[in-house]
Amino acid sequence: MKLSNRIEREKRTVGIMIKMYCNHNHKKIDSMCMDCEELATFANDRITKCLFQANKPVCSECQVHCYRHDMREKIKIVMRFAGPKMIFHHPILGIRHLIDKRKFKYIDAKLYKSLQDHY
């Protein structure tokens, strides 16, 4: 699988989860509220700029916390709400996310150190 496919799938998955959360909690059907739109934009930006790229773990398993504290708290709330529902609403994306979570769970210590030194 190409790297760009995985990154784009992760962006899509996060976007869908944020939309599910916003639809249920903020009663936005056709669009997202400003706060959720800001979170989606921030999450896409973080995924795009991830240091690990080809070896990128899912964000919850990552050793580098690139989210600002306030955004990390918001995305945790979204994930807790939407994560369990993904298997019913978007089963393929939900299963692919679980596979990625197992497959890319740990970052090689040498790679992590070299990335820290580089950035």
Tens-place pLDDT, residues 28-49: 778 899 999 999 999 999 999 8
Instruction: For 73-98, write each residue's pLDDT tens digit.
Output: 999 999 999 999 999 999 999 898 88
**Lowest-pLDDT range of 61-70, 75-84, 102-111:** 102-111
Burial track 94-103 (b if 16+ CB lie within 10 A, e otherwise): bebbeebeee
Residue 103 has a pLDDT of: 76
Structure token digits, residue 73: 């708290």
List helix spans (H) across the chain: 3-25, 34-48, 69-89, 91-103, 109-118
Say what the pTM is.
Answer: 0.81
Question: pLDDT at position 1, please?
Answer: 47
